[in-house]
A and B are shown apart, each in its own frame.
Chain A
Amino acid sequence: MSDYNFAYLDEQTKRMIRRAILKGLAIPGYQVPFASREMPMPYGWGTGGVQVSAAVLKPDDTFKVIDQGADDTTNAVSIRRFFQKTAGVAVTEATEEASVIQTRHRIPEAELRADQILVYQVPIPEPLRFLEPSEVETRKMHALEEYGLMHVKLYEDISQHGDIATAYAYPVKVEGRYVMDPSPIPKFDNPKLKMAGIQLFGAGREQRIYAIPPYTDVVSLDFEDYPFQPTKADHACDLCGAEDSYLDELIMDDAGKRMFMCSDTDYCATRRKGGHIGAQGAPHREDAA
């Protein structure tokens, strides 16, 4: 542990990142450039999120990492270990106990509190990129609030699929001003973007940080005749029976037997501990993890 500065990054770098975070909080949804550092992990493995986490972590924090909702994937485990080792912070899998949560592709089901920070790993921060490859032009479009193109993308969706097929990274407008990519969370999570906690987004390769302060208005873009719908699989969790959580679908065998389960593993486990049982679930046992 003494081989590293607290949370790996040197203090000057952390200050630089904190300045970008503060600017991002002051201008909700605006992409703030920052000088992304080399991290001991490849791009695409959450280097943006890790740098943001490093800049906000304090020694008394409790840290949680989820990848697609799960605490136990390789990626989540290695980021959690990284900060255990370099910052010596406490770690947890319980959403409720965590003060800083780094996430990839999900917002926890449990409602976050004002004393919690959610840090997103972002691959592509620019929502206009798909239709306008020029960075100069997209910056100008943000500056001048020229967002018609975002609706062209939704128009294309409807004309090709009969409905807005965009299921992840569904574009939102933040506090009536900036259009933002909420990172590849399922659109089911979009309504949760208005929350009590602070949300910070870090894109390492693209060198951008952006933020949503507590209780900021976040509106998913749509058409009057095709309103936004935060859809999920029309099913209950087979393990805990939850009907309000986002579900992963698992193929169980070659015969095509399927199972739906909460993508948020902590949410599911907490419910099972509380005695909830789904259609294929067994009663909770302490030793089963």
Chain B
Amino acid sequence: MTPLLQVENLAKFYGHRIGCTDVSFDLFPGEVMGIVGESGSGKSTLLNCLAGHLTPDRGAVRFDTRAEGLKDTITMSEPERRMLGRTDWAFVHQHARDGLRMNVSAGGNVGERLMAVNARHYGNIRAEAIDWLGRVEITQDRIDERPTAFSGGMQQRLQIARNLVTGPRLVFMDEPTGGLDVSVQARLLDLLRSLVREMNLSAIIVTHDLAVVRLLADRLMVMKDGHVIETGLTDQVLDDPQQAYTQLLVSSVLQV
């Protein structure tokens, strides 16, 4: 089976400081990979390198493109990479306002990706927006409101709808439940889990929250100081951590 994403020896430095280094893994279609680790361990750096937002200093990130199969996204042309960014890839930011247009209505936010791939029928775009708002539990009567009128949880759900509307094959998420209060988090997690299953999504989810990976991730990568120190099936890593650091991480969180 061809991996959807193949990462080889990836490294990114900020001057002398390590962002992340020596990262290699394969992600297969339909798989959800969690990335956990303490603050500053390089999770966001890695995710941004994978999604084409940062240019790594070393390594390859090969994506199984529709036309040409596995292709290094770091060396491909910028137009091609940006095209992936609005079709086959989706990126869910921690702060919804980084991933939404705050001065555009909810419907316009969801419709943007459709229009970016040349949807030119207003009625169809709007119908699709209504459908997607419904799928993330935002009622139709809010479609013409701007996200500024929405709660944090709604904004995050809107961001998810906006990203998934074009049926991406790979979703990057950086702390999608961060900054939300616990009950809102739980609802969002439920929603994410059912969407991932329904759409058979492949995803890479960065999080601090082991409950998130327990619920969503098939596999887990633990990072520390820019290195991947442990990887495996989620249950395996959480129930039987091999590294001392992971043991500490698991025990400290599970006690909360």
- The verdict on B108 contacting chain A, using a C-beta distance below 8 Å, is yes
| Across-interface contacts of A111 in B (CB, < 8 A) | none
Contact A159 B126 (CB under 8 A): yes
Distance (Å) between the CB of A138 and the closest chain B CB? 14
Band of interface residues on B: 20 to 34
- The verdict on A156 contacting chain B, using a C-beta distance below 8 Å, is yes
- Nearest CB in chain A to that of B112: its residue: A152
| Across-interface contacts of A43 in B (CB, < 8 A) | none
Distance (Å) between the CB of A226 and the closest chain B CB? 5
Contact B104 A152 (CB under 8 A): yes
| Across-interface contacts of A224 in B (CB, < 8 A) | 120-122
Given A146-B116, A151-B115, A158–B122 Cβ distance below 8 Å? yes
| Across-interface contacts of A155 in B (CB, < 8 A) | 107-108, 111, 115, 122, 125-126
Given A152-B111, A159-B144, A225-B123, A131–B79 Cβ distance below 8 Å? no
| Across-interface contacts of B111 in A (CB, < 8 A) | 152, 155
Distance (Å) between the CB of A53 and the closest chain B CB? 36
Contact B120 A151 (CB under 8 A): yes
Q: Mark A40-72, 1 if CB is under 8 A from B, else 0.
A: 000000000000000000000000000000000
Task: Kindly state the separation between the CA atoms of A158 and B144 in the bound complex, as whole angstroms.
Answer: 10
Q: Select A223's contact among B107, B113, B122, B144, beta carbons within 8 Å.
A: B122
Given A152-B115, A224-B121, A144–B104 Cβ distance below 8 Å? no
Contact A223 B112 (CB under 8 A): no
- The verdict on A148 contacting chain B, using a C-beta distance below 8 Å, is yes
Distance (Å) between the CB of B97 and the closest chain A CB? 14
Task: Kindly state the separation between the CA atoms of A144 and B116 in the bound complex, as whole angstroms.
Answer: 12
Which A residues lie at the B interface, using CB under 8 A? 131, 144, 146, 148-149, 151-152, 155-156, 158-160, 223-226
Q: What are 21 A-B pairs at a CB distance below 8 A? A: A131-B104, A146-B82, A148-B112, A149-B112, A149-B116, A151-B115, A151-B120, A152-B111, A152-B115, A155-B107, A155-B115, A155-B126, A156-B104, A156-B105, A159-B107, A223-B121, A223-B122, A224-B120, A224-B121, A225-B122, A225-B123
